[in-house]
């Protein structure tokens, strides 16, 4: 019997991991008529937004990596995770083991390079909140941030959106007594593949939501539908082919999404 080919074995393992990651995306997804999408958005009882490259114009971990002079290595791993070619938890652990960011480095990064909203997002969310209130007797649109990013990098955006801490699902970095990087909280639902679905299921159970919308740019956002009723793919920062093909609707900017809500009534 001939010896196993190491490169072939490695390739097979890589393909198996990629297949497992792809299998996490629900088969029920796929483009829907704009009239259906518009009706679903207007009747939504809650909306969950991804943060990095959706609400935010950047990938927070890539900003942190660039701040720590490790940008190229980390960005390659981020792309693999967002395109769904590796399980999210694998890419998260790989990136953090390379970065090992201290508490001081994270704080300095947020102070020097605070996150900014993606172009047009503030106007869009103000519109959607007002539109929802007008159709629902003044009731506010429940807005949540569901992210595989890190809480300290998301906090400035949370404050600007005026939502409470319980409305954010994100990853928690853990540090030693001296502030050095220790680990991340593996109990956070968004620390692993399928975590956004678990986060939305928690929201549905907690609040009784049944018509949730998920908006995001990556494969982990596709995994959240269901329990989300509709999945909006956002390509205003990065347009990912998997999301284009699988989302119920794909938009390139926030005005497109506003138009769908307004003009399909």
What confidence tens digit (pLDDT) does each residue in 217-261 have? 988 899 998 899 999 999 999 898 989 999 999 999 999 999 999
Q: Are 212 and 227 in contact (CB under 8 A)?
A: yes
pLDDT score for 195: 87
Question: 36: pLDDT confidence band, cut at 50, 70 and 90?
Answer: very high
CA dist., res. 192 & res. 83, Å (int):
14
Beta-carbon contacts of 3 under 8 Å, excluding residues fewer than 6 positions away, are none
pLDDT score for 23: 42
pLDDT score for 5: 42
pLDDT digits (tens, 9 = 90+) for 187-198: 888 887 788 999
Is the backbone peptide bond immediately before 70 cis, with ω within 30 degrees of 0? no
Token readout for 172 is: 């928690």
CA dist., res. 253 & res. 54, Å (int):
10
Per DSSP, the three-state class of 56 is strand
Domain boundaries, the chain: 29-58+115-263
CA nearest to 118, candidates 258, 259, 253:
253
Strands (E) in 43-187, as ranges, are: 46-49, 143-150, 168-171, 173-175, 181-184
Active-site annotation, residues: 50, 52
Question: How confident is the model over 28-41, as a mean pLDDT?
Answer: 90
CATH number belonging to the domain at 29-58+115-263, selected among 3.40.50.1820, 3.40.47.10, 3.40.50.300, 3.40.50.1000: 3.40.50.1000
Token readout for 97 is: 């083991």
pLDDT score for 13: 39
Within 10 angstroms of residue 153's Cβ, the number of other Cβ atoms is 27
Question: 11: pLDDT confidence band, cut at 50, 70 and 90?
Answer: very low
Distances (CA, A) of 7 to 87, 131, 219: 21, 56, 28
pLDDT score for 263: 86
CA dist., res. 174 & res. 141, Å (int):
33
pLDDT digits (tens, 9 = 90+) for 82-120: 655 677 777 788 888 888 989 999 999 999 999 999 999
Q: Are 162 and 168 in contact (CB under 8 A)?
A: no
CA dist., res. 129 & res. 261, Å (int):
12
pLDDT score for 206: 92
């Amino acid at each position: 019997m001939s010896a196993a080919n190491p490169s072939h074995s490695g390739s097979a393992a890589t393909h198996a991991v990629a297949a497992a990651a792809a299998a996490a995306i629900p088969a029920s997804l796929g483009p829907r008529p704009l009239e259906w999408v518009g009706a679903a958005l207007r009747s939504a009882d809650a909306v969950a937004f991804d943060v990095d490259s959706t609400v935010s114009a950047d990938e927070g971990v890539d900003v942190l990596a660039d701040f720590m002079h490790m940008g190229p290595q980390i960005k390659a791993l981020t792309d693999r995770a967002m395109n769904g070619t590796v399980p999210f938890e694998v890419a998260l652990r790989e990136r953090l083991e390379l970065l090992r960011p201290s508490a001081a480095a994270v704080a300095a990064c947020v102070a020097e390079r605070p996150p900014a909203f993606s172009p047009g997002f503030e106007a869009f969310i103000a519109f959607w909140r007002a539109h929802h209130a007008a159709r629902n007797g003044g009731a506010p649109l429940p807005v949540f941030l569901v992210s595989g990013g890190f809480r300290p990098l998301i906090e400035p955006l949370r404050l600007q959106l005026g939502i409470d801490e319980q409305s954010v699902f994100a990853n928690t970095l853990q540090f030693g007594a001296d502030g050095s990087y220790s680990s991340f909280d593996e109990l956070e639902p968004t620390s692993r593949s399928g975590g956004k679905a678990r986060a939305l299921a928690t929201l549905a159970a907690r609040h009784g939501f049944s018509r949730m919308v998920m908006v995001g740019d990556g494969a982990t956002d596709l995994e959240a539908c269901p329990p989300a009723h509709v999945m909006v793919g956002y390509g205003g920062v990065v347009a990912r082919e998997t999301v284009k093909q699988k989302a119920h609707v794909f938009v390139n900017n926030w005005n497109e999404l506003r138009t769908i809500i307004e003009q399909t009534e």
